[in-house]
Chains A and B, each alone.
Chain A
């Protein structure tokens, strides 16, 4: 297999996903098959080829350094799942549960 269940668990944590045991098993099989197919790329000689990160390779798109209207705070907070006045509320970051 191209990927192990342990690796899948590790990647799930990196991706901030929580997979149940059935999902881990299915994901391991499916990602394994997909990654095996991806191995096709190994046969391509890419020596000296510049990576292409974008379709239209533009650099340094500048605008005037001028303050322009931005999204009002009230609108920005409108979709917050939990808020406290002008702030987003989240569960504790550190310490005891």
Chain B
């Protein structure tokens, strides 16, 4: 493996200045790593080798000519396949959007391009970002680089796996209930979910609009800071993006926080938390103590309702957002002639049977086209969530489910507001266990949902959170440390994360890719 692949983006940018190698060499090394290992890992849906090399050659030329360059000049970034990029397939790992080519760029894509980042390819994900294992992709499975029998986490599983497997120093993911932090934890990389409103969602294919945020995955806290600085900021095209100045995260990230007050939540350590994960978190607390932080208990009494709350609110928003996939404007449409022939046959059969009531209920061709297109275009988990959300929003259930969930959401937020009066950061586990096996939870949706218990609260409360590597299980699986900070306190969050990184070496560990046997070998 090329030594370049071990370097972080921050280190690579320094090396570029020395002129020992350029972006073309770096991109070639990434492409070689992908060629060698991605057949088995399956992180990428599509790799744009030609485009990335052309972009790299241009950056090298501009650097040589001493032209001004952006803050990510020549650094490859992998993009989750739910961020619109003009003319480039953006599939959300769904049959529904298999042939969709957006007519415009998402704001984050524009920002990455303006920063001279190299768009390396598109990463696999759970369909429409719904899931925690990337098994819900309509196209392929992604495997955990630390153990190919295990899931990489999700929904940004491809974005986490490719960074862990040294195929790219950086990737971008999205986090609605943990979809950046959870795969980052399970793959042993850094993953940051910014505060709601910090990064523009314009051009992100919507899942749950009051919860979705875009953020970086990287192999160091410095790199996460660097990418956030590029992504963050107000955008007139997203009215929920907040017009606050963006602090120079990459400049301040290396400044330790004096008198840091860390909150730990006793509710986190109840039954259900894997002993090895619990142990790693206890060790992390000791590291912070040795760095001069004070630890105190805080209570988040409504956290135990978070999974139930989230899995009402997110599907409600999803059922509304995904109503746009109607087979009319873009996306999949069922073959029309067969659909109409089938409908005619149904009609004839009902006529023969003299079933007048059923005849009147029969779908019109337009409605049948909607229904059939959606049923063929969406996978099982997406359908399940659309059903759940439609049910919870329907007449008679709206108050008991949706409205109730919104009230509980406020109570969850208030718990955090109170806790942050006493502490600067809340520390805990990202996941209740290390990565589980492929197929282990796929037939038990509720078990899959319950795996999200530590991460959904951050999105419900609208605050920011980060996952950083903090240890390994005896089986060699990565464990993530979850830090959360109040809204718009990413600077504090990153500095606190950096303090831990400086005192430990977990982030330097790399998956045993050499052990991967090429298929057929």
Contact = CB atoms under 8 A, between A and B. Distances in A.
Contact of B333 (A63, A82, A97): A82
**Which secondary structure dominates where chain A touches chain B?**
loop
B387 A49 contact: no
B521 interface: no
Given A34-B388, A92-B366, A81 B410 contact: no
Interface centre among A42, A49, A75, A82 (most CB of B within 10 A): A49
Contacts of B304: 40
A31 B408 contact: no
B392 to A, nearest CB: 8
A33 B336 CA distance: 36
A74 B465 CA distance: 41
Contact of B103 (A11, A56, A76, A90): A76
B240 interface: yes
Nearest to B389: A15
A49 B415 CA distance: 13
| Chain B contact surface mostly | helix
B371 interface: yes
Interface in A18-60: 18-19, 23, 27, 30-31, 33-35, 37-38, 40-42, 44, 46, 49-56, 58
A11 B387 contact: yes
Contacts of B331: 79, 81
Contact of A41 (B326, B347, B375, B405): B405
Contacts of A35: 388, 391
Interface residues of B, number: 77
B293 interface: no
B407 interface: yes
A18 B371 contact: yes
Given A63-B236, A78-B101, 17 more contacts: A11-B387, A11-B391, A15-B386, A17-B378, A27-B387, A30-B445, A38-B312, A40-B305, A52-B407, A56-B195, A56-B196, A81-B331, A81-B332, A82-B333, A88-B328, A91-B368, A97-B347
Interface of B: 99-101, 103-104, 195-197, 210-211, 236, 239-240, 242, 302, 304-305, 307-309, 311-312, 319, 323, 326-333, 336, 339-340, 343-344, 347, 364-372, 374-375, 378, 383-384, 386-388, 390-391, 394, 401, 403-411, 413, 445-446, 449, 459-462, 487
29 contacts: A12-B387, A16-B326, A16-B367, A16-B370, A17-B371, A17-B383, A18-B374, A27-B383, A35-B391, A41-B309, A41-B408, A42-B404, A50-B410, A51-B406, A52-B406, A52-B409, A52-B410, A55-B195, A55-B197, A55-B459, A56-B195, A78-B103, A79-B101, A81-B328, A81-B330, A82-B333, A88-B328, A90-B366, A93-B365
